[in-house]
Amino acid sequence: MTPNAHSPRPLVVFADDWGRHPSSCQHLVRRLLPRREVVWVNTIGTRPLRLDLGTLRRIAGKLRQWGHADAGPADTGPSPRVVAPKMLPSFKGVWRGVNRRLLVRGLRGTFDALSQAPVVVTTLPLTADLVGRLPAHRWVYYCVDDFSVWPGYDGATMLAMERDLVPKVDAVVAVSDTLVSHVAALGKPAHLLTHGVDLAHWQATPGPVPACLGGLEPPFVVFWGVIDKRLDLAFVRHLTANLARGTVVLVGPREDPDAALVDGPHLALRPALPFADLPALAAAASVLVMPYIDAPVTRAMQPLKLKEYLASGKPAVVRDLPSTRPWADAADLAATPEGFTAAVNLRLTTGLPDAQRVARRRLHDEGWDAKATQFERWLDGHAGA
């Protein structure tokens, strides 16, 4: 294909599996699909292998992807071309070099077939050894989390590869002030781009009450997201032991959560729901909660669900963290289990206060369309935009 001098360069994106979770990168790229060619590269993380059902399902999914040229789950919206190169689930020691060779060999044809040398976006440091080995115009690191402290990851390997990646890339975009500082310590300035929200999605007429709430005692105090060791067991236990009435419902995939976090009185764990069904879940809830721990991993992150909770119009009680403090006038922040429980019980009685409802009006300035426009400027090297 002959390059058009006026057409934007293609994007090649290394990230989580397309369509598996509605990540910030997927929200942004969806907005760019109408005007750019996009190749999405499904990657493998560096979690230790476990012989459990979740791991076996992930392995089976990867094997299915590797059996197809274009791999990925069915998607109802506009989708990029999805590829799933063969790679090992570890980058530790000698496996790092093996993966470098596998990825360069597996992706060379994809890059060569593009109309122009692409802008490459990577959300994971695992691409550190690909810079300079694949024909790219620019490399941009979209720093969404501090994976060196992420539960279950090989933190030492992730940090080592991030230290190698950051000096090589042309630009860094980070989702929180904590991550901007983290990247600066690695020798690179970063642009700050906090997460957006799709107000139309969250404020549309909801569907029927999700079946996962069937048989549970209302009112519902709901969390959705990955159920892992970032959840504060003390907060959840105190809440369920002192809940005035109803059920705390944790909805999402389980990724090695604390063993003591099990179904019990006033507590129910349910599988993940499709993103399209989450507004109905929010509508059925009386209070939405984020009982995260206060630790390096949560101080660095920018939870997508924060603005989604606020957009739903429901009361939100969240852990006091750097990412939640800018919205302290729009939600209830708590630093202790006792304060968290008290706030939940209060909102079960009062609903959303008028002052918080008014404070949430500034969500209109947080749409994904505007975020994607800014993101694209930085991708193309318009640093002053």
pLDDT score recorded for residue 323: 96
Q: DSSP characters for 109-130?
A: HHHHTSSSPPEEEESSGGGGGG
Q: What are the pLDDT tens digits along the chain (385 aa)?
A: 445 556 899 999 999 999 888 899 999 999 999 999 999 999 976 655 555 554 445 445 544 554 554 555 445 567 899 999 999 988 999 999 999 999 999 999 999 999 999 999 999 999 999 999 999 999 999 999 999 999 888 999 999 999 999 999 999 999 999 999 999 999 999 999 999 999 999 999 989 999 999 999 999 999 999 999 999 999 999 999 999 889 999 999 998 899 888 877 899 999 999 999 999 999 999 999 999 999 999 999 999 999 999 999 999 999 999 999 999 999 999 999 999 999 999 999 999 999 999 999 999 999 999 999 999 999 999 865 4
- The DSSP code for 144 is -
pLDDT score recorded for residue 261: 86
Nearest to 290 by CA among 259, 260, 248: 248
The angle subtended at Cα 204 by Cα 361 and Cα 334, nearest 5°, is 50
Q: Cβ(85)–Cβ(127) under 8 Å?
A: no
Give the residues across from 38 on adjacent strands. 11
Compute, in degrees rounded to 10, the torsion defined by CA atoms 268, 256, 124, 64: -90
Strand order through the sheet with 316-319: 267-270, 247-251, 220-224, 287-290, 316-319, 332-334
pLDDT score recorded for residue 271: 96
Nearest to 288 by CA among 266, 310, 264: 310
Distance CA 322, CA 150 (A): 17
Q: Cβ(15)–Cβ(41) under 8 Å?
A: yes
**Residue 123, CA distances (Å) to 18, 27, 56, 110, 307 in order:** 13, 13, 24, 19, 21
pLDDT score recorded for residue 2: 46
Determine the number of helices (DSSP H) and then strands (DSSP E) in the chain: 13, 13
Task: List the chain domain ranges.
Answer: 11-196+367-379, 199-364
Distance CA 371, CA 28 (A): 7
pLDDT score recorded for residue 46: 66
Please name the CATH architecture into which domain 11-196+367-379 falls.
3-Layer(aba) Sandwich (3.40)
CATH number of 199-364: 3.40.50.2000
- In one-letter notation, the amino acid at residue 370 is A
Distance CA 10, CA 78 (A): 16
Evaluate if pTM is beyond 0.85.
yes
- In one-letter notation, the amino acid at residue 144 is V
pLDDT score recorded for residue 5: 55
